[in-house]
Structure 1
């Protein structure tokens, strides 16, 4: 398969693992250029990985060699950069979330469809060995018919370790937009799309104190909810509940559990690619550990981009699709909409469950 020539816009921390994986794991991608609004940062990343082209973003978009852009900018820039890349005729895989506003997300899908281009979006952790094994267990009936799910992401906020946490506390930030995509994408992958949402939200503290780096001790104002509780109905009939919070100092709640008519499945952290997985069924004296039956169990960031590159070459559907990402964006907004309106919110976006990866294949996209 001919490699898809790829350019990366945004040379921050996460770009390192994306570039590393495209050269060592995913043989259908070739990063030929990197770009950043800080040209020196782009040059440093290019030198680190022996990439010949280091650009400003607009220069990369003008490069005809680049077929696909991986957009690793900050959340507020996701939609503007993705739209510019689509207008330039590039396929785009963007970090989560797809956009900040629903209107931006819809515009991305519309432009991509008009131009016949692919759009993909993180998180792609659901393509890792842990969540793929969970999908196989559910589809094969190991816990019977799924009837419910819980998801919890509880912490004290990123300002304790992040030197510049401001963007976590403005529109597009907060625990739901930062970590919610991992949990909701995993749940849609496992149980299908969501049709109704009810939520309650609050901002516990009006400001946060930076705990590390050169700005240690500075205050960051909080402009968005930092504790979100929700209940949601899947189209399948299962009922889910979720809490995401930056206001909690400690918790022993599970990450995700799936409840079925014939058992319970403990799902691994959806921000990872591996296990562990546990299952308990009627008559079992205790939980049983389930071995992983799929590859990509280490940090496999970029698997969604590689899957999209495969679809570009074969004409198929990419699994971590823009439509899936928009459905998750729609659901995330609905929790706040419900809290403000005091009513249920019907979700109209919809999507298909992504197709599972082939079982027992540990190297793909070669």
Structure 2
């Protein structure tokens, strides 16, 4: 990158540790400032960073973080309801912003973010960056190399009884902007866009099994909270390429024995690893073969972690970001349209170029 990338982080919740672990292993990435609604938490994180990264980090207000000369990019780790507000503030300050998924709680908010970024001339980046790991990228390389022939179909399945089983404050997962589709869907839908290209229309059906959930761990264990979103969503995605993908996202069931993601073509099928992870074994079943067998990693960042998308963006500027807001916007419209569908086919207004593939790259 030449110059160190100095990051300002807004929102210091559960996901923060994974980003900090990645940054600690990357050359020339440092956290300059942190901000959180809990000032005591921000002070503790800044103190820990100052001890571990060899450079001082400050606990500041959001306003001070956005005006700081030593913050090159804003990492927005707030809850979905705050994604757009923080992104718009960063853009107004002239700073690029990388946001956790989804890009915003609604398509309208996300479109406002993208319009503001274009007018201000700054980049908007959006998780997930798990698609840059060797799992999804090796699968993409297999598709691009024709190992499955012409892609015709895909299945993507995420089944869990719900995040309240482990998260001490799971309420936001069950508010608008949450649910299994908005929370976990970005990993699967973004992977499908990388593997098969943009989507032109969707049809979906959703349901919810109960009106309230109960926290199972932490100081709030036993406390009930309301459910305001569908907790099981099934959909069909029609890709511009002609391939058709089936999606199942659920907080109402227990587990699945099948691969999280499969891609089928005229000459073979791929079992793709969990798109919520960076690594994992890709297995290919060629037409006329003896079933599925592992193929060696051939693309993607090796031993990557959350935050590698920021590094990839900084390394490859001014090329189009692989974790672009454009892809985030398209993925959000896919998901929002599935929730609105109620069995009707909805044509999408957005699209996104298939991001460039990632060569096999050691990142540590």
Shorter-chain TM-score range: over 0.9
Match of 2:303 in 1: 298
Change (3 A) 1:362 1:297: closer
Per-residue CA shift, 1:314-336, capped at 9, x if unaligned?
Answer: 42211100000000000000111
Structure 1 residues 110-143: Cα deviation after superposition (integer angstroms, max 9, x where no partner): 1111111011000000000111111111000000
- CA distance in 2 between counterparts of 1:12 and 1:224 reads 22
Partner residue in 2 for 1:216: 221
What corresponds to 1:38 in structure 2?
38
SS at match of 1:49: helix
8 A contact 1:295–1:363 mirrored in 2: no
Matches of 1:362 and 1:249, distance apart in 2: 36
What does residue 150 of structure 1 align with? 155
1:59 and 2:69 aligned: no
The answer to whether the Cα contact below 8 Å between 1:97 and 1:177 also exists between their aligned partners in 2 is yes
Report the counterpart of residue 77 of structure 1 in structure 2: 82
Of 238, 243, 259 in structure 2, the residue corresponding to residue 238 of structure 1 is 243
Contact 2:301/2:358 (8 A) holds in 1: no
Query: Which residue of 2 is the match for residue 20 of structure 1?
Result: 21
| CA-CA distance at 1:251 after TM superposition | 2.5
Q: Does residue 12 of structure 2 align to residue 7 of structure 1?
A: no
1: distance between equivalents of 2:328 and 2:160?
Answer: 24
- Work out whether residues 282 and 295 of structure 2, in 8 Å CA contact, stay in contact via their aligned partners in 1: yes
How far off is 1:297 after superposition? Answer: 4.0
Q: Within 5 A, what are the aligned runs for 1:172-211?
A: 172-211=177-216
Question: Quick one: distance in 1 between partners of 2:266 and 2:151?
Answer: 6
Structure-2 separation of matches of 1:121 and 1:250: 28
Is the alpha carbon distance of 1:159 and 1:180 closer, same or farther for their aligned partners in structure 2, counting shifts above 3 Å? same
Contact 1:272 1:299 in 2 (8 A): no
Q: Given the two structures, how large is their TM-score scaled by the length of structure 2?
A: 0.95
Asked if structure 2 preserves the Cα contact closer than 8 Å seen for 1:131 and 1:270, the reply is yes
Report how far residue 28 of structure 1 moved: 4.3
Alignment of 1:1-366 (within 5 A): 1-25=2-26, 27-50=27-50, 51-294=56-299, 296-311=301-316, 314-339=317-342, 342-358=343-359, 360-363=360-363
Whether the 8 Å contact between 1:130 and 1:274 is mirrored in structure 2 is yes
State the 1:49 CA deviation. 1.8
C-alpha distance in structure 2 between counterparts of 1:123 and 1:213, whole Å:
27
Instruction: Give the Cα separation in 1 of the matches to 2:117 and 2:255.
Output: 43
**Gapped runs of 5+ residues in structure 2?**
51-55
Considering only aligned residues, what root-mean-square deviation do their CA atoms show, in Å?
1.4
* Structure 1 pair 131–137 and aligned structure 2 pair: CA distance change class (3 A): same
Equivalent pair of 1:294/1:362 in contact (CA under 8 Å): no
CA–CA separation in structure 2 for the residues paired with 1:200 and 1:54? 44
What is the distance in 1 between the residues matched to 2:221 and 2:253?
A: 21
Question: Is the CA contact 2:301–2:361 (under 8 Å) kept in the aligned structure 1?
Answer: no
Give the secondary structure class of the aligned counterpart of 1:86.
helix
For 1:117 and 1:31, the matched residues in 2 are separated by 20
> SS of the counterpart of 1:13?
coil
2:53 alignment partner in structure 1:
none
- The alpha-carbon distance between structure 1 residues 363 and 250, as it changes in their structure 2 partners (threshold 3 A), is closer
In the alignment, is the contact (CA less than 8 A) between 1:200 and 1:336 conserved in 2?
yes
* In 2: Cα distance, 1:299 partner to 1:127 partner: 8
Distance 1:202-1:171 versus aligned 2 partners, 3 A rule:
same
Q: Whole-Å Cα distance in 1 between the matches of residues 363 and 223 of structure 2?
A: 46
- For these two proteins, the number of residue pairs brought into alignment is 358
Q: How far apart, in 2, do the equivalents of 1:19 and 1:89 lie?
A: 24
Displacement of 1:220: 1.2
* TM-score in terms of structure 1 length: 0.95
